[in-house]
Structure 1
Amino acid sequence: MLETSKELFERAKQSIPGGVNSPARAFNSVGGSPVFMEKAEGSILTDVDGKEYIDYVGSWGPMILGHAYEPVIEAVQETAAKSTSFGAPTELEVKMAELVKRMVPGVDKIRMVNSGTEACMSAIRVARGYTGRDKVIKFQGNYHGHGDSFLINAGSGALTLGTPSSPGVTEGTANDTLTADYNDLNSVKQLLNEFEDEVAAIIVEPVAGNMGCIPPQKGFLSGLRELCNGHDVVLIFDEVMTGFRVAQGGAQQRYGVTADLVTYGKIIGAGLPVGAFGGKEEIMQVVSPDGPVYQAGTLSGNPLAMIAGYTLLSELHENPVHYDELEEKTTYLYTGLSEVFTDYDVPVHLNRVGSMLGFFFTEEEVVNFETANTTDQELFKAFFHAMLKNGIYLPPSPFESLFLANSLTKEMLDQTLDAAGASIEQALNKI
């Protein structure tokens, strides 16, 4: 007899911490137990109980053309028959690197790794090795994976040295991480002035996706570029979410700002485990074996991830109309949700960049971590579970972006809006 999601979750907790292999999959933020999936096609997920959902998670971003995209599946199957890994170079790695260089401004060389976390950890090490400095500036509410340097709280003010936000992160590591406020250039200037000639890099999500979708305000990214130029600091764009999604060339292309280093994950492997970091030749030349900054990985550039990513990115590169269609569909959903929440007199702030979308149950304009936290979390919990019951799969957290796929049809979008109306009414009645 097939096991239900609840049964599988109870079973999983006996062998896996928390019953999940990533906290983002847990339902801690919304309550209840996670849904276990069986299969997916296009924008439809099917769980182990046989229930179908319209998907707005998309494996947290990479399924930009939908699940089980046929050209990717066929390419992976054909490649797997030749072996899943060689531990030696392949032509696929070269073709992938060349394709990324054609699509992304400012990338002279790129190194493949195995996750977005690994890409961000490596980029920080490269920036430190290149500059000979130790400190890094990150932003409150930005997430760059679970590397020690990134699991740091801001403390009581922008100039406060970081403190570990996870056991296992040392005070020494925390002292080298400085935290500024997203969309606030003055907080960055203060840190650069206070720690003159000590800062190696500024790392930023050009569009924040880990406190909900929050776009950069006008002049923020270009201001960071100017500050980095003036202080000889390496500017790192974490495009694990935005890369190849908000535009062919990612946020760099969309906002016309070129970073020194850029990191990728998720979409660059079409959903297979993969990551990458790349950038200017003069910086990337310090990476081993060309330079002294060591970085390695047995499965880096493995053939399955490379062919999956190459197939997906080639389609996006050759047919940029996908981006126009995604903009139209996301705008349609954005406008429709605004109307639904207005009809029920629910305070809401919606943000959208390309095919990323976020909504916050608050009257505040959401521009940073502080304003994101004004959202009504209890209302979100009730709304999430009502939407789930009504066949819509949203990220199980009020602080995550929705990711739309081009496999969404107008009928699916209309079904989502109908479900949103029913769900917000149910949520309001519940709380």
Structure 2
Amino acid sequence: MSDSAVSTSRALFERASVVTPGGVNSPVRAFNAVGGTPRFIRSAQGAWLTDADGHDYVDLICSWGPMLLGHAHPEVTAAVQAAVGRGTSYGTPTEPEVLLAEEIVGRTPVEQVRFVSSGTEATMSAIRLARGFTGRDVVVKFAGCYHGHVDSLLASAGSGLATFAVPGTPGVPASSTALTLVLPYNDRAAVEQVFAEHGDRIACLITEAAAGNMGVVPPDPGFNGFLAETCRTHGALFVTDEVMTGFRASSRGYWGIDGAQEGWVPDLMTFGKVMGGGFPAAAFGGRAEVMGHLSPQGPVYQAGTLSGNPIATTAGLTTLRLATDEVYDHIGGVAETLKTAAAEALTRAGVPHVVQSAGTMFSVFFTDPAHGPVRNFEDASRTDSTAYAAYFHAMLDAGVYLPPSAYEAWFVSAAHDDRAVQTVLDALPAASQAAAAAQGGAR
């Protein structure tokens, strides 16, 4: 698509770049990983986005997960409009937050939840609570698992397997990551070693229930159960981050696919995205014994002016109530159709690739399948980002909006109907040929 065809988006991006760092309010939106002009979206309906220049796209990011039902769902919109008419924020308890908490408790193994306004707040608060509950300071995480921009979790691996982390970005002091240990994902031996060396100091281990921020990398069979048991043995808390997967991977999140089948329960969980119905809302929860350490019941302080606000909780409650088994069956079927078709088109074009999924979420890695499945961040980093950029732009030109990064999940919604699916299917062959022509630019 020529620059003249997106002149309004380009003009808006130029204006935004003057008043906003990089022209965007979250880095991946800038298209830095794929090049070109970011599309400024004017509106969205169902499975479609419409940009400022009037071009329509099938949406395969769904606001990075939250839009489970599709954009501007009439029942969600009506519920939000009614809530806005009653006032947007009171700074007091409200009924919708009770109802949403009950809905979350009913779907997951948590006994109590506390609402916040972002996934970052949820993970930050869960770690604070874990430290307060255990009286310990050390946190264990995995390379490639993203838990928001919390200082202590924006950490890179140190020089040795069981050494403490170093800051992963400027602006994070070394003291903030000095009590964080970063391990390779899906590596049981690394977990055993770090708990053998530091077990009596570890407050918690935090992991994405299924990794989605290095592309979709599911845990090996039994890995999450192993983590839960290891934490229990050493008196640490096991924290599963379901900000992305919660109520998205399945009706009960990834825990419904994994923990509910294997019989393990996390001590704390974090939620976001779908549970806010497209509004800024997140939560952390767990067993009552642990949650009881939060203020005002306990000594661990956490607060937020807009936490549990009536607009976001109404949107989230309505979304979850409408997220029936039939909705998940439809989303799962669409995801299966698209990932199968994407793999077939890339195979015909001779593009090495691996397709992976976690429930209804999936990713296409432009990496050699001879290496086996993508199991960790090192594997994910082999993806050919140049080929992906060509693939992305070919899909965009054909009216399909993919994640503007090779390291993100693809999402679909209940609103992805036959027309939307066919648009994607029609775009795949040419996009695969574009990727084939661009092969060789591995990260």
TM range (shorter): over 0.9
Over the matched positions of the two proteins, sequence identity in percent amounts to: 48
What is the aligned partner in structure 2 of residue 292 from structure 1? 299
For the residue of structure 2 that corresponds to 1:209, the secondary structure is coil
- Establish whether residue 418 from structure 1 lines up as the match of residue 426 from structure 2: yes
Q: 5+ residue gaps in structure 1?
A: none
Task: Work out the CA distance in 2 between the residues paired with 1:295 and 1:430.
Answer: 49
1:156 positional shift: 3.2
How many Å separate the matches in 1 of 2:404 and 2:20?
A: 19
Q: What are the equivalent positions in structure 2 for 1:177-326 lying under 5 Å apart?
A: 177-256=180-259, 257-316=264-323, 319-326=324-331
Q: CA deviation at 1:186?
A: 1.1
Q: Does 1:138 align with 2:146?
A: no
Question: How big is each residue's C-alpha offset from its partner over 1:189-240, in whole Å with a ceiling of 9 and x where there is no partner?
Answer: 1111111311000000011110001111111111101101111110111000
The 2-side partners of 1:48 and 1:187 are apart by 49
| TM-superposed deviation, 1:24 | 2.2
Q: Describe the superposition over 1:323-370 as per-residue Cα deviations: whole angstroms up to 9, x where unpaired.
A: 112111111111111111111111110001222010111113211101
Partners of 2:7 and 2:92 lie apart in 1 by 41
**Who is 2:406 aligned against?**
398
Measure how far apart 1:3 and its partner are.
6.7
Among 16, 20, 37, which residue is 1:16 paired with?
A: 20
Kindly report which structure 2 residues correspond to 1:135-174, keeping only aligned pairs within 5 A, or say none: 135-174=138-177
Task: Provide the C-alpha distance between the structure 1 equivalents of 2:181 and 2:277, rounded to a whole number of angstroms.
Answer: 33
Question: Among 95, 98, 122, which residue is 1:94 paired with?
Answer: 98
Mapped to 1, the partners of 2:411 and 2:85 lie a distance apart of 32
8 Å CA contact retained: 1:120, 1:277? yes
Superposition map of 1:49-64 within 5 A: 49-64=53-68
Quick one: which amino acid aligns to residue 289 of structure 1? P
SS in 2 for 1:14: helix
SS class of match (2:340):
helix
User: Structure 1 CA distance, aligned partners of 2:235 and 2:227?
Assistant: 12
Secondary structure class of the residue paired with 1:403: coil
- The separation in 1 between residues aligned to 2:394 and 2:410, in whole angstroms, is 17
Maintained 8 Å contact 2:387/2:434: no
Equivalence map 1:47-126=2 (5 Å): 47-105=51-109, 107-126=110-129
Query: How many matched pairs?
Result: 427
Q: Which shows bigger deviation, 134-143 or 186-195?
A: 186-195
Partners of 2:46 and 2:186 lie apart in 1 by 35
Per the alignment, residue 359 of structure 2 pairs with: 354
| 1:34 match | 38
What one-letter code is carried by the residue in structure 1 that aligns with 2:212? Answer: G
On the 8 A contact 1:327/1:355 being kept in 2, the answer is: yes
Q: Give me the whole-angstrom Cα distance separating, in 2, the residues matched to 1:23 and 1:258.
A: 34
1:407: Cα distance to partner? 0.9
SS of match in other structure, 2:200: coil
Distance 1:426 1:367 in 2: 27
1:61-91 residue CA offsets vs partner (Å, 9 max, x unmatched):
0001101111110000001011000011111
Inter-partner Cα distance in structure 1 for 2:26 and 2:344: 34
Give the aligned residue type for 1:160.
Answer: T
Task: Give, in whole Å, the separation in 1 of the partners of 2:393 and 2:185.
Answer: 30
Deviation beyond 6 Å, 4+ runs, structure 1: none
Q: Quote how far apart the aligned CAs of 1:412 are.
A: 2.0
Q: Match for 1:28: what amino acid? A: N
**Consecutive unaligned residues in structure 2, runs of 5 or more:** 1-5
CA RMSD of aligned residues (A): 1.2
Amino acid at match of 2:319: L
For 2:332, the aligned partner's letter is: E
1:40 alignment partner, SS class: strand
2:341 alignment partner, one of 328, 333, 336: 336
Q: Note if contact 1:104-1:248 (Cα within 8 Å) is conserved in structure 2.
A: no
Give per-residue Cα distances to partners, 1:361-415, cap 9 Å, x unaligned.
1113211101001111110111111111111100110000011111111332232
Distance of 1:77 and 1:414 partners within structure 2: 33
**What amino acid does structure 1 have at the position aligned with 2:165?**
G
Whether the 8 Å contact between 1:267 and 1:309 is mirrored in structure 2 is yes
Distance in 2 between residues matched to 1:332 and 1:47, nearest whole Å = 26
- Normalised TM-score (structure 1): 0.97
Taking the aligned partners of 1:295 and 1:380, their CA distance within structure 2 comes to 41
- C-alpha distance in 2 between matches for 1:211 and 1:157: 22
Q: Once structures 1 and 2 are overlaid, which stretch shifts more, 75-84 or 162-171? A: 162-171
Contact 1:362 1:376 in 2 (8 A): yes
Q: Quick check: 1:57–1:395 contact (8 Å CA) kept in 2?
A: yes
Between the aligned partners of 1:131 and 1:422, the Cα distance in structure 2 is: 55
